[in-house]
Chain A
Amino acid sequence: DAKTTQPPSMDCAEGRAANLPCNHSTISGNEYVYWYRQIHSQGPQYIIHGLKNNETNEMASLIITEDRKSSTLILPHATLRDTAVYYCIVRVQRTSGSRLTFGEGTQLTVNP
């Protein structure tokens, strides 16, 4: 699976959009981009994933560049409860296996 690079930490004001970048310059054509987050002392929570098109769900939006070498997770109106470590993961589409390779992630702190 391709390696990802994320900033170690970011701050965001409550109510504002949080834009979390991820670099995955060695991504292959069949690798998906996944985002998970982990609130302290809990298990990671799935947020969103995509292959090449931009995706949106009730939690967030995922913007993938045309060359697929980077992506941005957007939380449109961050709240204090969005304070967490956010992990960007790229993953090969396999016919078997649910292995995720977690990096160090980005600690997002939402400030009041």
Chain B
Amino acid sequence: NAGVTQTPKFQVLKTGQSMTLQCAQDMNHNSMYWYRQDPGMGLRLIYYSASEGTTDKGEVPNGYNVSRLNKREFSLRLESAAPSQTSVYFCASSVESRQPYNEQFFGPGTRLTVL
């Protein structure tokens, strides 16, 4: 039981390049999330998916797109990377986003640097 997995662990991009961050969970959770973590700012929600087939914007969605490929997988895409997107990205999942008492389970993170 791996929980939430993310690939890659590290990535360096040049400005303007694109990439996709992959996330998968094996806990049969309905809801999945993408956060970015920046020093002194905690975690900020980029996008989330309440259930398979749905996605919604979070607090900081600009410059990102997401795909909920199936119940297990939720990917985050940067179409044209900018230095401001240098951050650590975390994927998380929970049983059901409409039940706010549920905890979220986090992946190990992807450390992205945009030069």
Same complex for A and B? Answer no
Binding site for A on B (CB under 8 A): none
